[in-house]
Amino acid sequence: MPKLKTNKALAKRVKVSKNGKIMRTRSGKSHLNSSLSPKRRRQLRRKGQVAAGFCKRIKRALGPALGGR
């Protein structure tokens, strides 16, 4: 059976935590931030967790080398 290739576009956007959670950066913080409240800008700095419905598909695309199965 051939080796599985990692989807590099996805690998640059998500990280797999030690517990197996898939963490992603939040959208909406690249520009036009002056209209956002300081609280909202602070919250956007944190990482978000990928929804459970996408996890299986994402782990398959990441391949076994990057935490997928």
Q: Would you say residue 3 lies in a domain?
A: no
14 with 22: CB under 8 angstroms?
Answer: yes
Q: Would you say residue 39 lies in a domain?
A: yes
Q: Would you say residue 43 lies in a domain?
A: yes
pLDDT tens digit sequence for 7-29: 999 999 999 988 889 999 999 88
Distance separating the N- and C-terminal Cα atoms of the chain: 15
Q: What is the CATH number of the domain that holds 61?
A: 4.10.410
Rounded to whole angstroms, the Cα distance separating 63 from 31 reads 33
> pTM of this prediction?
0.76
Q: Would you place residue 4 in the very low, low, confident or very high pLDDT band (cuts 50, 70, 90)?
A: confident
Q: Which domain holds residue 45?
A: 8-27+34-66
